Structure formats: C-alpha cells, structure tokens
Structure 1
Amino acid sequence: MNNWFKRNGIHFAIAAIFLVICFIYLTPAFQGKTLGQNDVTRAQSTQKEINDYKAKDTTILWTNQIYGGMPTYQVWAPYKANLTSHIVNAINLTFPAPVGTVLLFLLGTYFLFIVLKVNPWLAAAGAVAFTFSTYNIILLVAGHSNQAFAIAFFGPILAGIILTLRGRHLLGFSVTALFLAMEIRANHVQMTYYLMLALLIMLGIELYHAIKNKTLNTFIKSVGYIAAAVLLAVAVNASILWSTADYGNETIRGKSNLTRQTSEPNNGLAKDYAYEWSQGVGECITFLIPNAYGGGAQGSVDPDSHVIKALGASGADPNQVTEISARYLPLYWGNKPFTEGPFYFGAVICLLFVWGLMIVKNRIKWWLLGAVVLTMLLSFGRNWPYLSDLFFNYFPLYNKFRAVESILAVAGFCFPILAVLAVNEAIISEDKESLFKKLKIAFYITGGITLIVAVVPSLLLSFSVSEQTAGVISQISQALKADGQAITSGLRADRESVAQADAVRSLIFIAIAFGLGWAFLKKKINPTMLSLGILALVLVDFWMIDKRYLNTDSFTPKQSNQAPEPREVDQFIMKDKDPDFRVFDVTQSPKGDGFTPFFYKSFGGYSAARLKRWEELVDNQLSKAVNQDVLDMMNVKYVISADPKTQNLGMQVNQTACGHAWFVKSIKYADNADQEMQAISSFSPKDEAIVDKQYKNVIDEKQFAGTDPNGKIELTSYSPDHMIYQSGSTSAQVAVFSEVYYNKGWKMLIDGVEKPYFRADYLLRAAQIPVGNHKIEFIFHPASYYTGENISLAGSILLVLALGGAAYTENKKKTPAAKPAAKKA
C-alpha cells in the first residue's frame, strides 16, 4: 500500500492543487453562498409543487404547477435505482456548487491526459485549459449546470475509449461505461449528441488505419467492447432515457399536430428557433482574442469610455448615463440576440494548437482537426447554412436542439488536447531545430493576428452597429436630447478599444509562451520547468478572463436566492385554498414565466420541455388576442394584468371558469387537429366538447343523451399524480376534466376498474361516465419510469461488477509474482 501511495503521490499532489485552485477561485461557495443564476432562480419556480411534496416524503412524477400540467422528468425525478444518481448526490453533499462540477472537469480531463501518456504537470495544464475555457465558466454563471456537468465527462469518456482501442479491454470497457453513464445521467442530450458526433469521426479514422495496417479483427473486438459499454451505460440510465424518449415526442421538439396556419415544422424545432444562437463566422477570432467582438451583452460602465462621455454631454445624471450604457448599448456587436460572453480557448492554447497541427505525429491529431472543423461549421448555423441545413434536415435528432453555437464546447475540448500533445511531442522529439522552426510559424500566425487587431483592428473587424442598436440610440438621443451620431461613434470606439486591449493582452501571452518554447528547445530549461511554465501561464490567462464572468459579485447569500416576494395581488390570490385552480398573468410571457409558479399553479411556466399541444394552443389562441373560452376550459380562476397607463397591477376573478370537471351537453367531432383548433376558437366549453374522431370508438353515443340537469362531478382529493372525483347522474354522461391530456402513463379508474379516456378541446382529458354514483381516479404510473427503474437497477449492478473486475485485473497485472522458495540442499 505504501508503494502504491509513493507511485501515485504526484497525482494526489496535483489533485490537491486542483482543490486549492477551486478554493481560491470559488471562495464564496465555501462560505455558504450560491451563484445568483437567473436561469436557476426561474427554474426553481417549476419545482414548487415537486418540493412541496418532497417535504412530505412523497415523490410525484407529474406537476400541475406550470403549463397546465406536465411530467416532472425534465424538471426533477429521483431515479433512485440508478448508480450514478448516488454518485451525483455524494458529489453534491461533499462539495458546494459549483465546486463539485469544476473538480470533475479538472480531474476527468487530467485522467485523459495521463491516459495519453503526458507527464503529470503538463496534464494538469491541459486540464486547467479545458476546465476554465470561458464557455464552461459562463455556463455555471448562467445556471446551465446540467450542461456543464455533461461537458465535464468528455475527458474520461475519451480516455475509456482510448484504453479500449489500445487493447486494455476490460478496463476501457468499465471506464467508458461508468463515465458515459454519468454523462447520460447529466440529462443534457444535446451535449452527449455532439460528443458522439465527434467520436464517430475518431472511430472512422481508427477503422481506416485498421484496414490499412491489417488489424481489422483487433479493431472490431475493441469496438465490440465500446458498444457493450454504451449498452451498459444506456441500461443504467434506462428510466431517464425511456421517460425522455416518451415525453420528447410530445414536446415542442416532437412532431407538429397542425398542418395549416402554423409556422411549426412537421418534426423537431423550427429552424429559426434552432439557429437563433448561431456563431458568427468571423466571431471565431474570439478563440484567440476574447473581446474582439465586444465580450458580453453589457455595455461600458467606465466613466472614461467614449459612449458615456457622449451621453454625459447631454447633461443627464451620471448614474442614469451609466445605467443606460450598461443596459442598452452593449459592447457585443455580433449577430446573436445577446451573449453572456465569448468562446475563448486561450491565447497560449491557440499558439500551441497551431504548432500541434504541424508537429504532432499521433493520428489523434486528424481526429481533433476533423472534430474542430465539423463543430465550427455546424456552429455557424444560419450564418453558413450549407452544412447545418444538411444535418438539420437529414441527421437523426439534430433538429431537436437549439443554440447551435453550443457545439463549440467540443472544439473547446479538442484545442487543449492538441496543444498539450504538441508540447509533449516537443519533449520526446530529438529534432529540436525543426520543432523551433515550426514554433516560429505558429507564433507568426497567432501573434500576427493579434498584432493586426492591436494596431489596425478595422482591417479584420467592422464593429458594426446593428439596426436594433441604432434604433435604441435614436430613442436615447431623443429622450436625453443628445447627439445620436456621437453616441454611435462612441460605441464603435469603445468596441474597438476593448478589442485592441485584449489583442495586446493575447499577444503578450503568446510571446511568453513562445519564449518558454524557445528556452526549452534551446535546452535552457528542462521538461518539468516547461510543463510548470505552461501550467502557470494557462492558469493566469484564463483566471484573468474568467473573472470577468464569474467573480465574487456573482455569488449571493443562499437566503436571497429563493422565491421572490409575493406582490399584493399574489397575496390576495394565495388566500384561495382551492387545490387546483390556475392563474394567467398577462404581464408575464406564458412561455417564459418564471415568477407566477412560485405562488400558485400557472397557465404559463418556465421550461424548454413544454408540451407541443400547449405551445400550439398558446400560439393560436392567446398570442394575438386572449381567447376567453380557452381560459375557461383551463380553469383559469384569476387573471393578473397591468393598467396600460400607470402599470399598476390588478386582478380579476374569472367568473366563467369551468372548474375542475364538468358534464357537457354535446360532442362535436373534428377530423383532425386543424379542425379542433378552429373549433375551440369560438365555442362554449361548459356545454360542448370538441373531440377528434379517432376517439369515436371510446364513446358509446347510444348511452349519452345529453346533460342531466341534476348531474354533478367534483374533485374530492387532489395530488398531482393521483386525482379523485365523485360523480352522480341519472344517465351516462361525458365529463371533461381541466387537466392536460397525456397518454404515456395516465390511467383512469371508475370504482377501481380501469376504463378508457380520451382527449377533448385539443388539450384536456375527457371520459364517458356511467349512470349512477361513481368514484373516478386518474393515476399517473408511467411504465417508462417504473419498468425503466428495474432495468437501471440491473444495469447498475452489472456496472459495479465490471468496475470491481477491472480493478482486480489491473491490480493483479501490477502485482509481481512471488519468487519460488529456494530448495534445501
């Protein structure tokens, strides 16, 4: 055991350094503070009902808190049978957020570089470079924790695949299965998909060399182990994947139900929506110069900036001027709607990456280059649609994802790998003179670009002012009686200034890195000093830039990161003890309402996994004008609005809300979804139900003779996933329930016997109720979750056995065989 610690002492030392880096950089997290993440705060509203039931030691898989009702799979679900759930919980209990995620980045990527046979200090430099790439840090600040968590496993997954391809099959299989299972558990399918695209390029290159070197059988055997690892990782996450697949088809990423009067695509997301955040082709210069395109969406707050001086010339209050500049005149000038910050891969890393393209002999170089080129082209989206459209139209699942720029997370992963391999090649190569010549070429390329931007930025960058920003400037100049042309010129000057400043900064780091390379290749320093120098340089480079986005001010006390204070109207509505009414807040966007659900069940909500039918209902019945009939059928009891003149909030009680359930007088059949949508544009939801003709066989029209004047149906017990009603009538009736229809797990019981139900009014549940008094139950018990959990348990057991077997086998290989005892004379 002592020998094992001695052999691995350097790794423990580096892990300790990583922890120290996290402690210093993320000190507020260790003091009990949390990141004041806007997306996280709004997402907490979606979990209101879930958390209320968790407090009662009850798990619910359906919530009515947002969008009228939806499964909780993409909000929160326990997945207790999944081994990785317990690993995630252990990480969260051990380290405060986001320390656990940052450590996973560092240790996972370090493990990859060790597998690539890089010396530990150089491996640490590569781990720091990938971890602190600005996109990863910005994700943490923005609250996209699942996405960052998924990206953190890129390194160890690649390490497992490399081990497998090298012939260490059991170890590689186990490592790949474990970390791919963790990747899938992060539940960010988009990042996993992008990684798989890149890995397919790698396997294609390996196949080519296997055929070329006549080692195809060996390659096929390794691929078999990789495929088995993928299957095991999928089995471990069966409940997550099955539930997501079932639900995904019904969400805005699924097939459109409408064929007429809709801009929705037949399947997947609308292209404009998917391409909304597309990387500008020229914007890739931010890999090298972070503020070349202005940085984030905030404007200048420097009192000496040109734009603030132009605004100040109007005589306006200095505080007002600063606020106007910061909020309405962004330094960012690319064509994304807005951005929190650039994709910065590091000036040092860019220099070494270009060097690596010229000197690295390992064929992994071609995979890294291919992955970078592919991901860059796909990230351009609408700005270079030729390849993006091909993928969007023909590649499975690709059109389910939005914000295509996020695929650059893969490029951000590839850059430091090739950069570190370049330094490693310099260490092991004997031809130092040739290496130095190529280092000079890399220096001329990267240093030349930064020098041009520093001296003559307009040669490469336009610093254009968009039409939208020009319109804002016009409004500001009129309001302040300021010189609009001076403001525009000042804004362009500020954008140019920050680009020049960062270009000079990047040039300095490139020059220092070049100096380190020169010193090593001229035998002035040894490999350890070179590696430590690269580590220090990379850490300082990223530390300075990342502090622009994640700093002490990003953290807030935990208590201030909770639900917002209820308004006066909220306090009034919260006095209503009805367990299942809804509120429609006109002052909030229904598709992005992260406020109202904090207090009661909202017609709107905040989630990217909302149901397609709900989305279509909003687009067609509420976007241009509010259809009162739709509010009635959804049991919207209160409507909040603002006075157009004073903006004072008011509240109206909706006297015509239909309630929890009701018997209708008649049924009107529709041939398809288009007719359904047209029919509910103007109808009496209390009297008639609009039903698709596909459900005719569920309704016995001979038994249904219209409403019984004395018939009634009422909600007697409420739980989001188990609702009980009591009915009484002298004839068979058709009841409509103000609950969202979803046929992947809901079942209806009448007096304990399962009976069919159907969809009515485009979005709601309905059922035929027999004559007499009956107990009606709706129970949510999805097989995708419960059967999936059993499969997850079996997969988790197999994964533990595989890891144990791999550890035993590896230990046995390293244990020296005992020497035979000497024979007695």
Structure 2
Amino acid sequence: MSNWFKRNGIHIAVIVFFIVLCFIYFSPLLQGKIIYQGDVLQAKAMQREIMDFKAKDGTAPLWTNAMFGGMPSYQIWTQYYMNVASYIIQAFTTFFPNPIHIVLLLLLGSYLMFSLLKVNPWLAAAGAIAFAFSTYNFTILEAGHLNKAMAIAFFGPITAGIILTFRGKHLLGASLTALFIALEIRANHIQMTYYLFLVLLILGFIELYHAVKSKTTSDFLKSAVWIVAAVILGAAVNAGTLWTTYEYGQESIRGKSNIKTEGDKPSNGLDREYAYQWSQGVGETLTFLVPDAYGGESGKKLDKDSKVAKALMTKGIPEAQVEGALQQLQGMGLVNTYWGSKPFTSGPYYFGAAICFLFVLGLFIVRDRIKWWILSATILTMFLSFGKNLPFVSDLFFNYFPLYNKFRAVESILAVTQLLFPVLAVLAIKEITDGKRDAKELLKNLKYSVYITGGLLLILIVIPGLILSFKSPNNESILQGLTQVTGGDQGFASLLVNSLVDDRTSIARMDAFRSLIFVLIGAAILWMLIQKKINSQLAFILIGLTILIDMWSVDKRYLNNDKFVDQATINQTFKKREVDDLIMRDTSPNYRVLDLTINTFSDASASYFHNTVGGYHAAKLKRFQEVLDKQFNNAINEDVLDMLNTKYVITADEKGQSQRIQNRSSACGNAWFVSNILYVKNAEEEMTGINSFDPHKEAIVDESFKSVIDTKKAGTPDPNAVIQLTNYHPDHLTYEYSCGKDMIAVFAEVWYDKGWNAYVDGEKIPHFRANYILRAAQLPGGNHKLEFKFEPTSYFAGEKISLAASILLIGGLGFAGFRERKRGGEPDNEKKKAKS
C-alpha cells in the first residue's frame, strides 16, 4: 500500500488541489447559496410532473403532459437504470454540488488525458486548468447548460483513449475509450458528441495517412477495429438513450416536415437561419487571445466614467442620473458594448493569452504527427463555427453531411477547439523539456512566437482600428434608435454612437494590454527553462499559476459571486400566484392551461404548476410545432384549444400588473365521442381541416387510417354514450365508458405512435390519429374499461441491451487493468515483437 501511495502521490495531490480549487472558486456554496442558472430553473419546471410521480411511485413516468400537450419524458428526465454510466455520473452529482461536479469532471478528464499522453503531472495539471477554465465552460455553467458542459468534460479522455489505441495499447486504450464514450453519450448532449466525433474522424484519416506512408497499414487496421469495437460498446451501454432519442428525433422539429415547407425552409432538419443564428464572427476569433476584443458579454454595464456617460453629461444630465440613463439605453439595446453579429452572448470564447502563445509555439516545434491533426481540426472547427459568416464551407456540411443540419448554434463547435489549443500548448512545453531540441533553435522559435502573438496585441493596443471597426452590423439602426430617443437630435445621437465606439475600443485595448503581459510572462518562463535558469518542475508550476490567474480573472467576469443567490430567491421563481392557486383547486385530471402572461411557447415556468399548452423544449414534436405555426401565430384557434382540453387561459391586465383567469367551458374534456369523421388526403388538408371545425362533433382523419375504422359499425351516434378518465398516470391512462354500439372516441392526448398502445378490457385494439395531433379509437359498444399505456420498445429493449453492454464494459475494464499491471505498460504490438 505504501508503494502505491509513493507511485501515485503526485496524482492524489493534484486531485486534492483540483477539489480545493473548485470550492474556493464557488465559495458561496459553502454559505448555503445557489448559483442562479436560468436553464436549470426551466428544467425544474419541465420536470415537476415527472418528479412528483417519481416521488409517489419510486419510478419516473416515461411520458409527461406538463408541456406542449404531452411528450416523452426521456427527452426531459429519465433514469436509465441498466446503464452503468448513469451510476458513475450520479456518484459525482451526489458527492459534489452543482456546478463543482462539472468543473471537477472537466479538470479530472483532461488531466487523465494528459497523463495518458505521458505528460509530467504538474504540466498535465496546468493543461487541465487551461481546458477546464476556458470561459465558454463557465458561461454555459452560468446559463445552466449542465448536460452540454458534462459532455465537454469527457472530450479529453475519449481523445486520449483513441490515441493510446493507435499507439499500440489496444486493450487499455479501447477499454478507456468505451468507458468515456459511454459517459459522453449518457451526458445526453448529442450535438457535442457529434462535434467531437467529427474531429476524431480527422485524427483517423491522419493516422491512416502515416500508416500508409510507413507501411504499417495492418497495425492501423487492427487499432481501428479496436476503436470501432469500443465505440460500439460505449454506444450499446447507452442503447436506451440512443434508441429513444433517434426515434423521437424523427418526430421532432429536427425531423422531416409533415406539410409542405414554405420558401427555402428545409423539409428535413432545422431551418438554416435558425441553425446559424449563433455563428461566430470571423474577426471574433480574436477573443481566443483577447477576451473582450468584441466588447464582452451583451449585458456588460458601462459606468459613469465611460465615454457614453460623459456624452450624456454634456447634455445636462446630472451625474447622479447618468447610470440610470445608461441602464435605460442598454435595456433598449442601444448602447451595448458587445458589437458582434450574434443576437446576444453571455461571454467570449477565451482560451488564454499564454495558451494562445504556446499554441503558436507548438506549431513551430512539436514534431509529433498529432500536431497536424490539431492544426487541421482547429481550422475545420473554426470554419464551421463561422456559420452564416462563411457559408460556402458551412453550407456544404449543412446540406450534405449526415445529421449536421439537426443542430443549432453552430458556434458551439468551438468547445472542441478549446481542447485542441491546450493540447498543443502542453506538447510544446513537453518538447522543450524532452531535451532533444537545440537550445538556439528553441529560442529562435520562441522569439517568432512572441513576435506573432505579441505583435498582434501591440497593434490592438496602439492602433486597434487597423484590425477592428468596433461597429456592430446594426450600427445604422442603433443610430436611428438613438435619434428617436433624443427627440430627433441626430447630432447628439451620432455623438453617443461615436462615444460607444470609443468605449468598445478602450475595452479591447485594455484587454489586449492585459493579454500581452501574460504572453510575456509565459515567454519569460520558457526562456528561463530553455536557458536552464530554472528546472522543469518549477517551470511547470509557474506556467500553471500563470494560466490559472489568467483564466480565473476572466471567468470571474461571467460567473462570479454575484451570480449566487439564497434559496429563498430561487423559491421566488416559482412563487404560486393567486391565479395559479385558484386553477389548482380544480382537481379534475389532466386539463390544460394556456398562460399568456409569459412567452408561453418558449418558457417552461407555467409547467411548474399546470399541464400546459405551451412550454419550452429545444426539440418539441414536429406536429405540435406545425400546429403552433399554423393555428397560434397570427391568432389563437379556439377550436384547437377546445380539443386540447384547455380549460383555463391566464391573461394580464392592460398594465401587466395583475393576472386574470378565463374559464373555458367549451373545452372538450379528456375524451369524447364524435358523430362524424371527415377524411382528408394528406397533412395539408388535415391542417386546413382544423382551421375551423366543431371538435365536439367531428374528427379530421387522414384517409390512411381508414383500414382501422369500420364506419358501418360506428355510423349513427348514441346520444347516451359517456366516457371519462377515471385514473390519471402520465404514461398509463384509464377510462371507463358506456355506449350502446361501436363509436369513435377522440382523446385530448398527443399522438405519438412510437410506444402508445390502447387496450379494451385488456385486449389490444388499434388507435389512430385525429385532428392532426390527437389520438382516437373505435371503441366496441357496451360498458368497458379502456387503457392507454406508453410502452416504447426503444426504451425497454434498449435497457436490456444496456445491461448486457454494461456488464461487458465492467469486465473489459477490469481485465484491461489487470493485464496492464502485469505487462508493465508496454504496447501490445511491442510485446508481440519481443516474443517473436
């Protein structure tokens, strides 16, 4: 045991340091405060019905009616009990509070990557800090994008596992690859996983090129087989997640349109404009080196010492009122320091000034072929992040590359770039300390790297206008807006715009000077290392401290102590209003509410108290979205509200200070019998049919469902027929009905044929779609019990596959660890050569 501690003492020390570091950064957690994360609060509202039933039953339902009339809950929250990755992630979330568990995963995952690449532990720790503390990670944590941040955390170890496999350590590399791919997929952010795999595909091609060149193709193919097996195993561990997500994706807004699209909108995948809405500006890549080169976050405040404030004072506004005036103008979007092309931003992609300098140095001195992978992958990810700003590249992928058009916010591919920069930076330092390079050559390359990065920074300090304009794309509209606000004083409006440009210039210049200091500090440390004035251990620690101070101070701009609030403040987010309390007195099951006091179709807050017509989800059902587009955009279709059993509408008074309830007695209820079926030929006619109809009496049905309807039996209506929902469980609905003959019943439940089954007295019966988005069925006459059960094969069969794959993964990891210890860490192919 003592030998084990001696061998691993440094690693243990680094891990303890990481834990302490996280608790210091997020010290308000120790005071009982909580970070205010908008998306986490949205998720809490989405999950309310799921969690209520989980607390009651012990297991979560697979369907929820909390939003958009109903959707599978595994797109919101589901525990995959047979997936070993679920329990590994759960362990972190149990022992460490949010968001410490995410930052720890970012640190530990990248530290493991550098360690597996045979990097000195202290240098590996410096690289891990550079990656984990990249500002994008902290801005998405502040927003509450926890799944995305967790998926990013596994980028490093997956990359290391694949490189290990290519380097001949097949069993260990493949086992680690399978483990971390399993964790990556379980993090459930397919977009991040997709981007990582896109970059790793380039790595595979570069390895193939070198294998052909060195005539070791057979070794490459063997490694590739191991990697493919690892990917398959990692995916199989997540069979339930992947299968349900794929199945649902076909029916979501990322799937194929059901009706003819208008203009240039795609019939499959996301709308191009929507997908490209958040595109990185080409010039904005300067933020990798200078954090606020483009003004920082959208909500960054100007103070009374700013040029804009002084311009306001020239018009006689008292100094005491200037900050209030600034807040008003910023609230109107007229004096925003951020001047890029994105709708808004929570902060830049800042990789660190010292890291950017070391990246440039790595391009000069790193000899490992991994450099060419990093360079080519960096260029590709940057080009793709430009989106609408470099369409001739982005459109090729959007139009032709499989699945690429399923994702929005293309700039987020830079999450992969932020891993590539520290990797090459660390390899550059490793190259220096290996002692295989001539000191004079290293000093020359060091000088060139300082000239490139330092020279660019000097230009930004001395003549920033040579590189950047500091004017936003909507500069003219801002000028017009300020002209209106100032009562038509165009001269004063122009003064404000010019003052704003001066403020943006000043912000960029100050950050450029700041970055230059860190570049020079990094260069000085390496100069002393090359000249042997300090040893490598001290150099690694100094480099790590430089990176930490640099990244920490920038991250605190976007995720600082002010972002933490008391639990009471969080509770206020879901404070029950009087209207909510009055509606909740109605204990009848599964009625719906339309809350018009909020942005009802992009806000999930109402779902905390009610099952709603609205809500928020990045992948709502396509059919429901089409109904929203056609029946709610211009005016709300009351017939559609009726068929969705919308019993209450919440509205605000003219001043928006109080809420009112509209009680809709015309709502159809949970289920009802109809006397007439109108068959239509296609989805367009089906949508047109619900424009204006009486949902109580008629149903609009696609003629493709004629085979499951016997209109002769269900012809004339029975006026005495009744049907009611007697037991409500989101994924198991029980009705009792009575009718003298066969009749057609329509249910205020969303149609989703990937798992819903209907049973009369335990016998399965067919059901069909009606009114574009609802379920309907022909029910046999008599007194019967009808049940709708959500039984998706994709989930239950997927869980069985997950269990088998999890057992195989655990066994493989155990065997790989045992074999690695026995073989002493030598590559598999080297062992074979030695034996031969």
Task: Give the TM interval when normalised to the shorter protein.
Answer: over 0.9
Q: TM-score by structure 2 length?
A: 0.95
Aligned to 2:526: 517
> What is the aligned partner in structure 2 of residue 226 from structure 1?
227
Deviations 1:707-731 (A, max 9, x none): 2111111111111111111111122
Match of 1:6, as an amino acid?
K
Q: Secondary structure at the match of 1:734?
A: strand
Corresponding position: 1:600 with 2:610: yes
Match of 1:382 in 2: 388
3-state SS in 2 of match to 1:13: helix
Q: Comparing 477-486 with 71-80, which one deviates more in the overlay? A: 477-486
How much does 1:115 deviate? Answer: 1.8
Q: Which residue of 1 aligns with 2:169?
A: 168
Counterpart residue identity of residue 327, structure 2? E
What is the CA distance between 1:645 and its match in structure 2? Answer: 5.5
Say whether the 8 Å CA contact 2:148–2:189 is kept in structure 1. yes
Q: Is the 2:525–2:539 Cα contact (8 Å) retained in structure 1?
A: yes
Alpha-carbon shift at residue 569 of structure 1 (Å): 2.0
The answer for the alignment partner of 2:833 in structure 1 is none
Rounded Cα–Cα distance in structure 2 between residues aligned with 1:189 and 1:574: 37
Aligned residue number for residue 327 of structure 2? 323
* Paired amino acid for 1:228: A
Cα shift at 1:134 = 0.5
Q: Structure 1 residues 18 and 690, CA, compared in 2 at 3 Å: closer, same or farther?
A: same
Residue 492 (structure 1) shift: 1.4
Deviations 1:691-742 (A, max 9, x none): 0111010100111113211111111111111111111112211111000000
1:640 CA drift (Å) = 1.6
Give the equivalent residue in structure 2 for 1:822.
Answer: none
1:573 paired residue number:
583
| Partner residue of 1:545 out of 547, 551, 554 | 554
Deviates more, 1:395-404 or 1:118-127: 118-127
Q: 2:67–2:604: 8 Å Cα contact kept in structure 1?
A: no
Deviations, residues 37-85 of structure 1 (Å, cap 9, x unaligned)? 0111122111110111122124201000000000011210010110011
Matched, 1:400 2:406: yes
Compared CA separation, residues 713 and 654, structure 1 to 2 (3 A): same
Task: Report the CA distance shift for 1:686/1:775 in structure 2 as closer, same or farther (over 3 A).
Answer: same
Pairing 1:811-822 to 2, within 5 Å after superposition: 811-814=821-824
Q: Give the direction of change, closer, same or farther, for the CA distance of 1:294–1:25 in structure 2 (3 Å limit).
A: same
2:498 matches 1:489: yes
Q: Note the C-alpha offset of 1:596.
A: 1.1
Q: Which moved more, 1:298-307 or 1:656-665?
A: 298-307
Q: CA deviation at 1:796?
A: 0.6
**Which residue identity does 1:670 align to in structure 2?**
V
Q: Deviation per CA, 1:545-598, whole angstroms, max 9, x where unpaired? A: 000011111112234324521223222212211221111122323321222111
Which amino acid in 1 is paired with 2:448? I
Q: Secondary structure at the match of 1:778?
A: strand
Residue pair 1:307, 1:325 contacting (<8 A) in 2 also? no
Give me the whole-angstrom Cα distance separating, in 2, the residues matched to 1:448 and 1:318: 38
Work out whether residues 35 and 563 of structure 2, in 8 Å CA contact, stay in contact via their aligned partners in 1: yes
* Match runs of 1:370-449 below 5 Å: 370-428=376-434, 429-449=436-456
Are 1:462 and 2:469 matched, yes or no? Answer: yes
1:364-763 aligned within 5 A: 364-428=370-434, 429-465=436-472, 466=474, 467-478=476-487, 483-562=492-571, 563-644=573-654, 648-763=658-773
1:153-182 deviations in Å (ceiling 9; x for gaps): 111111111221121111111111111100
Q: Determine if the alignment matches structure 1 residue 764 to structure 2 residue 774.
A: yes
Give the length in aligned residue pairs: 816
Structure-to-structure mapping, 1:203-214, within 5 angstroms: 203-214=204-215
Residue deviations 1:405-425 (CA, integer Å, cap 9, x gap):
000011111001001111111
Mapped to 1, the partners of 2:63 and 2:178 lie a distance apart of 30
Q: In terms of mean alpha carbon deviation, does 636-645 or 374-383 score higher?
A: 636-645
Structure 1 range deviating more: 391-400 or 572-581? 572-581
Find the counterpart in structure 2 of residue 819 from structure 1.
none
- 2: CA distance between counterparts of 1:169 and 1:261? 51
Letter of the 1:607 counterpart: H
RMSD: 1.8
Change (3 A) 1:61 1:10: same
Shift in Å, 1:261 = 4.8
CA distance in 1, matches of 2:167, 2:818: 19
Letter of the 1:590 partner, please give it: T
Instruction: Label 1:370 to 1:260 Cα distance change in 2 as closer, same or farther (>3 A).
Output: closer
Paired with 2:681 and 2:657, the residues of 1 have a C-alpha distance of 44
Q: Secondary structure at the match of 2:74?
A: coil
Corresponding residue number in structure 1 for 2:349: 343
Instruction: Encode CA deviations 1:233-285: one digit per residue, 9 max, x unaligned.
Output: 01110111111111111111010001155774211100000000000011101
Shift of 1:404: 0.1
Question: Unaligned stretches of 5+ in structure 1?
Answer: 817-825
Q: Which moved more, 1:296-305 or 1:644-653?
A: 644-653
Give the whole-Å Cα distance in 2 for the aligned partners of 1:84 and 1:42.
25
Which amino acid in 2 is paired with 1:353? F
Assess if the C-alpha contact under 8 Å between 2:483 and 2:489 holds in 1. no
The answer on whether the counterparts of 1:731 and 1:772 sit within 8 Å (CA) in structure 2 is yes
- 2:9 matched to 1:9? yes
Normalising by structure 1, we get a TM-score of 0.96
* Partner-residue secondary structure (3-state), 2:310: helix
Give the Å deviation of 1:479.
11
Picking from 818, 821, 828, the partner of 1:808 is 818
Amino acid at match of 1:769: L
Deviations 1:518-563 (A, max 9, x none): 2222222221222111111100100110000111111122343245
Aligned to 1:823: none
- Percent identity, aligned pairs only, is 53
Q: Secondary structure at the match of 2:729?
A: coil
Instruction: Supply the distance in 2 between the matched residues of 1:475 and 1:723 (Cα, whole angstroms).
Output: 57
Greater shift in the superposed pair: 686-695 or 488-497: 488-497
Partner of 1:249, secondary structure, is: helix
Structure 2 residue matching 1:253: 3-state secondary structure: coil
Tell me how far 1:430 sits from its aligned partner.
3.2
Aligned AA (2:375): L
Shift of 1:638: 0.9
Deviates more, 1:461-470 or 1:744-753: 461-470
Deviations, residues 357-411 of structure 1 (Å, cap 9, x unaligned): 1110000000000110000000000110111111111111100000000000111
Question: What is the one-letter code of the residue matched to 1:20?
Answer: V
Mapped to 1, the partners of 2:15 and 2:213 lie a distance apart of 40
The one-character-per-residue Cα deviations of 1:436-489 (angstroms, maximum 9, x if unpaired) are 111111111111111111111111111114245445434543499993223222
Cα 1:706–1:447 change in 2 (3 A) is farther
Is 2:385–2:411's contact at 8 Å kept on the other side of the alignment?
Answer: yes
What's the offset of the Cα at 1:315?
Answer: 2.8
